[in-house]
Structure 1
Amino acid sequence: MSELPHNWVKTPLTNIASVEMGQSPDSRFYNLNGDGLPFFQGKAEFQTVYPEIRKWCSEPTKVVERGDILLSIRAPVGPTNIAPEKSCIGRGLAGIRSETGISQAYLYYFFKNIEPWLSEQGTGSTFAAVSGQFIREINCPVAPTSEQARIVAKLEELLSELDAGVAELKAAQIKLTQYRQSLLKAAVEGSLTADWRTKHKPAETGAQLLERILQERRARWEAKQLAKFADQGKAPPKDWQKKYPEPLEPDTTDLPELPHGWVWASVDQLSESVRNGLSKTPNTDQRGFPIFKINAVRPMIVNFLAIKHIEIDKSEASDCWVEVGDVLATRYNGSVDLLGVFAMVKDVPVRTLYPDKIIRMKPVTGAGLGKWMEVCGNVGLSRKHLVARVKTTAGQTGISGEDLKKTPIPLPSVEEQKYALAILEDRLQSILELELPLEMAFKQSTAQRQNILRAAFSGQLVLQNPDDEPASILLERIRAERAAKLELKKPSSRKAKVSV
């Protein structure tokens, strides 16, 4: 940063503002019916400028006034909002109020400027946090009062223009997302390939394909059972084939009629196996075999960089390596939007295991069927089935293996699947090519915002006026006013007379 203008000063925050550290009241004083003051706990309630009021507190401990800056001081450190009215704050927040002569808006934008730096300052083994002393000692560049007003006005002008541009980018992004979802939905409902069906007669219908898959599924089970008997040196017992576990069928009671030649199937019917992964706790220091984190699975994406490691014997890992064609689904996730989403393994750059919180489906006929299951599982009635069966147990939001096995999959012929997937691949690539410039524009707007803020607090955004009262005189006046207030608060030195 260049040197500050000559009539600016740099001083610790404590010299120009008061800092109120939050403290969470007893939970018995919380309520959702508007009794007491709005109660804010941290970043989770923050919005663009003002936090969302979700609860109230009838017996507040730490209170901020309307317009005070709310600074998140733990998990994460740095984000800011403004108190919309007199409020109670919990220990995840600090309230900051400027002294007379220091613009509250100027101070708010200053914290917006240093947010990236603040985000790296937190310490702690459980979660990142900063102390009240740390906040009070933050060095703040102080401009003359009149210049503060000019800076705020210029910032609001430039940032409002930037916000308008970002709003347009977000609108375009939403439209692309909606188009992508409508495209996927059209594929699994058959409207995407309606013209194709009028001109082509496939070699087998969806019902015939399902029958072939079920026969292959049973044949593979029998082959595995015979292999086990052989390894044990035993002859197959009488009627051993009767122990074949029939796959769960979809409940078609409320499902709509499918296009001609299609049939409803279940995930279980289409999969050779559906099973959870390893339940042993992984580590983060790269000891043992790589194993996926939960966030490795996103709709139609498997991220081989999102891994931890696990120390187990090779024999324990033998059946938990992912392979090309496997379809993975998240069994647990804090967000319902990411719970139960499907993603097919399209490549295996590094041999990797999958954990207990992910379910692996092995499509009977391989990657071709896996691609179709991947699309269906993320949209339409298949997705609706999963979302409707989300359960919360012991604080964890998840879906059961049985509910996932029963997930209905609309099944057309192989030829129609291939045609629909080819159209999807082409159009999804076009969407991606439109999304990449948007992502670049978002990054550029973020960088531009930081450049504007950086210029503001280095004295480069507006012109200096030599007639402005220097900030040094402003600080002296703040010190004098504080001293005067302190003097008024001191108790009288006279001793009270005692009557006898």
Structure 2
Amino acid sequence: MTDLPDGWAMTTLGQLGKYLNGRGFKKSEWSDSGWPIIRIQNLTRAGGGFNYYSGPIEDRYKVANGDFLISWAATLGAFIWRGPEAVLNQHIFKVESYIEKKFHYYLVQHLLDDLMRSTHGSGMVHVTRQRFDGQPVRLPPLPEQRRIVAALEEHLARIMSSQQGVRRSVKRLDVLQRSLRQVVLCGGNPPPERLPHGWRWGKLRDVIDGVDAGRSFACHPRPARADEWGVVKVSAMTWGTFRPHENKAVPVDCPINEAHRIGSGDLLISRANTEAYVGAPVIVRDIQSNLLLSDKSLRLRMTAGIDKEWLLQILSSPFVRRQVSKRATGTKDSMRNISQKALLDVDIPIPPPGQQTVIASWLSEQLEGLKRMEAELGAVLIQGDLLRAGLFQAAFDGQLVPQDPNDEQASELLARIRAERAAAPPKQKTPSRRTRKELAAPPTRVTGDDYQQEALPL
């Protein structure tokens, strides 16, 4: 849409407010108490709590609950601060809007894709101030801005509520999948002392004829080409299906042991992985590359009469996964390892061979059905995102709410903004940090992360 709706005017983002950049707090200035310092991760909830500053601070750097903030480096985003009174770190604007604040907020959200395409830098990407201020925008009259905000929030709340319901359903599917494995493979949740007729308790070693371990290579960081050998990474065995592209190329001068070659039908285990995935099993369904076992992977060879698909499912069951996680060694914050002996000592319920095949086939069919349901729910979430994007487009094209000819024209609003800015006293030169009079920091600190960002439907 190129024509401006009645009463609207073209302007730029820089004309809509005053954008006050945060202060660069040095690490040496951090304290255990005082003002919480708002960093980008405190806005995005990427992790970590507050750092604090206990020195004097100018008003321009203070942030109150409800303030409009924009991060313009590393992560681009618009936020309504819902937290304690704090001070603002560099690379974040505090916005003093000349227009309806919530409209300004949603407008910046709508413009993020355009601004992202104009980022600079290879490390901490950022938008230049010139590009930010010069971003063209279409501005409606002030009363229409408020009508747009009201309509947006009404529709977005419905979309958010629907998507939250879908996400809850996805979580329930995950719980159902784990419960299904537990009940079908172990006879109950928790496993009963007396197993079904014909079943018996045993160890994993009772159904394993042998274990093949790979070796460590000094590899290239890239994946192997078609004419090269590759060593699988743990990520190839982490996600339930074998990912042959997750490998590292072996230098041509390294000796190759064919016994370590991975073949179609192999049942692999990640011997070393994070706590959640150590011991994760996969079956190699199809392989066309020259791939080798690594020192962090194991290949299990079943004894005669043991169904491989059943073994895959029992190794994936919550009952076995908990045992593997408990037996693994290493710190929780790093790679965990499980030895062959510890793995083979895992307790498992063993059904008769004929039942193994029936159980594995039925369970696989049910799990595939759950996967299809999950994919369908994922498609619904995508539709919600598309609907939200379309809603924003309609709002800022002037199609979400009707125009009112009685509204003051946006051009008049802009003229008044320009006049007020021109009449404002000239900006005073900022004195040195050592000499300027500043406000004292609050005497107490905010503990933990018991604050919440505005849960706006974006």
Q: TM-score range by the shorter chain?
A: 0.7 to 0.9
Does residue 395 of structure 2 align to residue 397 of structure 1? no
Between the aligned partners of 1:63 and 1:285, the Cα distance in structure 2 is 53
Change (3 A) 1:477 1:292: farther
In structure 1, the gaps of 5 or more residues are 202-259, 492-500
Selected match of 1:452 from 391, 408, 418: 391
In structure 2, the gaps of 5 or more residues are 431-458
Does residue 109 of structure 2 align to residue 112 of structure 1? yes
Between the aligned partners of 1:72 and 1:268, the Cα distance in structure 2 is 57
Letter in 1 for 2:67: D
Does residue 52 of structure 2 align to residue 57 of structure 1? yes
What TM-score does the superposition give when structure 2 sets the normalisation length? 0.76
Deviates more, 1:371-380 or 1:157-166: 371-380
What TM-score does the superposition give when structure 1 sets the normalisation length? 0.70
Change (3 A) 1:44 1:366: farther
- The answer for the alignment partner of 1:78 in structure 2 is 76
Does residue 149 of structure 2 align to residue 152 of structure 1? yes
Structure 2 contact 236–244 (Cα < 8 Å) conserved:
yes
- The answer for the alignment partner of 1:223 in structure 2 is none
**Deviations 1:68-92, CA, capped at 9 Å, x for gaps:** 33444445x334432114333445x
**Deviations 1:86-118, CA, capped at 9 Å, x for gaps:** 333445x52341423x12211221233234444
- The answer for the alignment partner of 2:343 in structure 1 is 406
Letter in 2 for 1:327: L
- The answer for the alignment partner of 2:443 in structure 1 is none
Between the aligned partners of 1:96 and 1:291, the Cα distance in structure 2 is 50
- The answer for the alignment partner of 2:122 in structure 1 is 125
Selected match of 2:301 from 364, 373, 378: 364
1:421 deviates by 1.5
- The answer for the alignment partner of 2:14 in structure 1 is 14
The alignment covers a number of residue pairs equal to 417
Deviates more, 1:114-123 or 1:412-421: 114-123
Does residue 163 of structure 2 align to residue 166 of structure 1? yes
DSSP-derived class of the 2:222 partner: coil
Q: Which has the higher helix share?
A: 1
1:420 deviates by 2.6
Does residue 428 of structure 2 align to residue 431 of structure 1? no
Change (3 A) 1:344 1:39: same
Change (3 A) 1:403 1:427: same
RMSD, aligned CA: 3.9
Letter in 2 for 1:342: A
Between the aligned partners of 1:403 and 1:312, the Cα distance in structure 2 is 30
Structure 2 contact 330–336 (Cα < 8 Å) conserved:
yes
- The answer for the alignment partner of 2:436 in structure 1 is none
- The answer for the alignment partner of 1:68 in structure 2 is 67
Between the aligned partners of 1:352 and 1:111, the Cα distance in structure 2 is 50
1:178 deviates by 0.9
Letter in 2 for 1:4: L
- The answer for the alignment partner of 2:320 in structure 1 is 382
- The answer for the alignment partner of 1:415 in structure 2 is 354
1:6 deviates by 4.2
Letter in 2 for 1:18: K
Q: How does 1:341-360 map to 2 (within 5 A)?
A: 342-351=280-289, 353=291, 359-360=296-297
1:304 deviates by 3.9
Between the aligned partners of 1:74 and 1:139, the Cα distance in structure 2 is 20
Change (3 A) 1:265 1:55: same
Between the aligned partners of 1:480 and 1:345, the Cα distance in structure 2 is 71
- The answer for the alignment partner of 1:301 in structure 2 is 241
DSSP-derived class of the 1:322 partner: coil
Change (3 A) 1:421 1:80: farther
Between the aligned partners of 2:204 and 2:128, the Cα distance in structure 1 is 57
Letter in 2 for 1:345: I
**Deviations 1:245-297, CA, capped at 9 Å, x for gaps:** xxxxxxxxxxxxxxx51212369966522346544241379695566565444
Q: Which has the bigger relative contact order, CA under 8 A and spacing at least 6?
A: 2
Between the aligned partners of 1:478 and 1:355, the Cα distance in structure 2 is 68
Selected match of 1:191 from 188, 198, 213: 188
Deviates more, 1:294-303 or 1:265-274: 265-274
1:58 deviates by 2.3
Deviates more, 1:471-480 or 1:341-350: 341-350
1:398 deviates by 0.8
DSSP-derived class of the 1:184 partner: helix
DSSP-derived class of the 1:344 partner: strand
**Deviations 1:308-366, CA, capped at 9 Å, x for gaps:** 65654473475654323231427345xx54x426141332243153686x832211128
Between the aligned partners of 1:386 and 1:150, the Cα distance in structure 2 is 57
- The answer for the alignment partner of 2:36 in structure 1 is 38
> Higher Cα Rg: structure 1 or 2?
1
Between the aligned partners of 1:113 and 1:369, the Cα distance in structure 2 is 54
1:473 deviates by 2.2
Selected match of 1:477 from 413, 416, 421: 416
1:428 deviates by 0.5
1:483 deviates by 2.6
Selected match of 2:272 from 323, 328, 331: 331
1:198 deviates by 4.7
Letter in 2 for 1:302: F
DSSP-derived class of the 1:303 partner: coil
1:465 deviates by 1.4
Change (3 A) 1:340 1:156: same
**Deviations 1:365-400, CA, capped at 9 Å, x for gaps:** 28966544543444434322444446449xx62112
% of aligned pairs identical? 19
